[in-house]
A and B are shown apart, each in its own frame.
Chain A
C-alpha cells in the first residue's frame, strides 16, 4: 500500500474541531494511516534515530536497524566516516547485511553476489559479462546507476540520525536550541555501552510516544516511589518544549539538595530518601550534573526518548513493527571515565526502568490496555485537557498533558491532517 497524502485514505480523516485536545482512536488502529505514516513521517522530513556512534567504532563496522519499517544499515568507512543506506539490494531487493553487527570491507548480497562498498556504491556484479561469452548484463548496463538507497545522516553527541528527505533542516535546527542543549548535557561526553535489551509492546508506536510525554500519569500509575515512601514531594519540575512542539523535556529537581553540597567531590548520597527499602543501596547516587535536575526524560519526534534518572542514562528507541506492535529498545549508557563505583550505581539504578523496571514496568502493558480498550471505537476520541488546552511550555508543573498535545500538533502538521 503506497499512500502519499491524507487524501489517499479510502476513509477520509478529519481532525476533530477541538484540535489536539482530542485524539481519535482510529489513529492507533487504522492500517491505512499506519501506511501513510511510513511515507509522511519515516520517509519524510524528520531525523530518525539510527544508532550510536559507539555501535560502530571501527572502520568497516556496520549496524542494522529500521526506519519505520524500512531496513537500514549504518556503516563506518575506511576513512572513519559514517554512512546509512537502505539494507536492500539494488537487484532483487534482498537484505544485504544479514548480521545485526559486523565488520567487513564490502557488503555482498548473498542472493546473486552483488557487492557494495561501505558507502553503498555498487562495486561488483557476478557474471556481469556472462560465461563463455554468453549471457551477462546488457551492454548499456551502468553500474553507477545502481546503488543502495542512501539516507542523509547527521551525528550529534554520538547519536547517529538519518533522513530520507532533502527538506529536513540540520539536526540542530530540527531539535531546536533547548533540545540540543539537553542532549549535550546528557550525552556530550565519551560514552560506553552498559547493556541493551528490548521488549515487544502490543500497541501502536504513537501510544508510547504519548506515554513518554505523559507527565500526568507518572505518580499515579507508577506507585513504586509512593509505596516505598520515597519522598518525592519536595521535587519541583516542569515541561520544556521545542518551538515545533513535537519534542519535549520533562524534568524534576530534588530541591532539598543544597548548592554548596553539589560541588563537593562526588559524594554518594546513600539513603537520602527516607525510604522503607530493605536494600536502600538501590538508590545510591552521586551528583553528576550541576543544574540540580535529577530526573529528566526527553522525547524526540518521531520515536526516540532519552532519559537521565538519577545516574541512569539511557536511549529508548521504539520501532513500529505493525499497526499494533512496537519494539522498545533500552540502550543503557555510562561514561568512559566512570569509576567502578559509579558504574555500579548506574547498574543498580537500572532496576528502576526497562522491561522489569520497578518504577516503569507498567508502561509495558498500559499502552496495550489503551490499544485493547479502544478496539472497535475508531470513531471515538481521547480527551486530553489536563493542564489546559494550549501547547505552551509548562515550566512549573508536570500535572499537565501539554507535551502530548505538542506531539499531536507536530503529527497533524507532518501528516497533513488539518
Chain B
C-alpha cells in the first residue's frame, strides 16, 4: 500500500529534482568521471531486476559500495572494457518524495533510457525506477543508496555505463 507522502517544501523538491536530473545528464553527456561524486563516500549503487528486488535476492547486475568501486567502474569502461560506442538518453518521471526521520529524502523516480548505437539506430534500452535515499551534506544532495530497479531482467547485448 502506498502511503500518502507528507508535504515536501517546494524548495527542497526543486533541489532534489535538479539533482536527479543533473545525475542523468552527466551520464547522457558521457561525463562519467562525475558519476561517483553524486554519491556519499560510502554510497551504495545497484542495478537489479525487479524480480530479484521484489524477492529480496541480494544479487543484481551491477553493485558498488563506496566511491572507490564506482571510480574503478568508470576507469574500467573508459580504459579496459571493449564495446561498440553508444550513448544513453535518460527520460525521468516526477519523483515521489518522502523524508526520513534523520532528514534524508526517500525518492522513487520512474525512468526510461534510450540507447543509440554508432550506426544511428536507437531504441529503448531500459525501463524501471530509481529507489533512492538522498542525504544532504552541507546542504547538497548526495545519494546514500540508489537501487536501479529494472522492469526487465533481459538486457540487450550488454550493460556498460551505469544507469
Contact = CB atoms under 8 A, between A and B. Distances in A.
B155 A355 contact: yes
B47 A278 contact: no
Contacts of A98: none
B160 A361 contact: yes
B140 interface: no
Contacts of B104: none
A275 to B, nearest CB: 9
Contacts of A195: 48-49, 52, 57-60
Interface string A349-363: 011001110100110
B80 A223 contact: yes
A180 B6 CA distance: 59
A162 B61 CA distance: 29
B153 A356 contact: no
A221 interface: yes
A197 B158 contact: no
B52 A365 contact: no
Contacts of A361: 81, 83, 158-160
Contacts of A368: 157
A365 B66 CA distance: 29
A327 interface: yes
Contacts, number: 126
Q: Which of B66, B70, B154, B155 has the most CB of A within 10 A?
A: B155
A173 interface: no
A90 B163 CA distance: 45
Contacts of A226: 80
A280 B69 CA distance: 8
A327 B154 contact: yes
Contacts of B76: 224, 227-228, 358
A356 B76 CA distance: 11
Contacts of A228: 72, 76, 80
A279 B69 contact: yes
A365 B84 contact: yes
A282 B72 contact: yes
B80 A277 contact: no
A227 B62 CA distance: 19
Contact of A199 (B57, B58, B81, B158): B158
Contacts of B81: 223-224, 358, 361-362
A364 B157 contact: yes
Given A282-B69, A366-B82, 17 more contacts: A195-B49, A195-B58, A196-B57, A199-B156, A201-B157, A221-B82, A223-B81, A226-B80, A227-B79, A277-B72, A279-B70, A355-B158, A356-B158, A358-B80, A361-B159, A364-B83, A365-B83
20 contacts: A195-B49, A197-B52, A199-B159, A200-B154, A223-B82, A227-B79, A228-B76, A228-B80, A278-B68, A279-B64, A279-B72, A350-B60, A355-B155, A356-B160, A358-B76, A361-B81, A361-B160, A362-B83, A364-B83, A365-B83
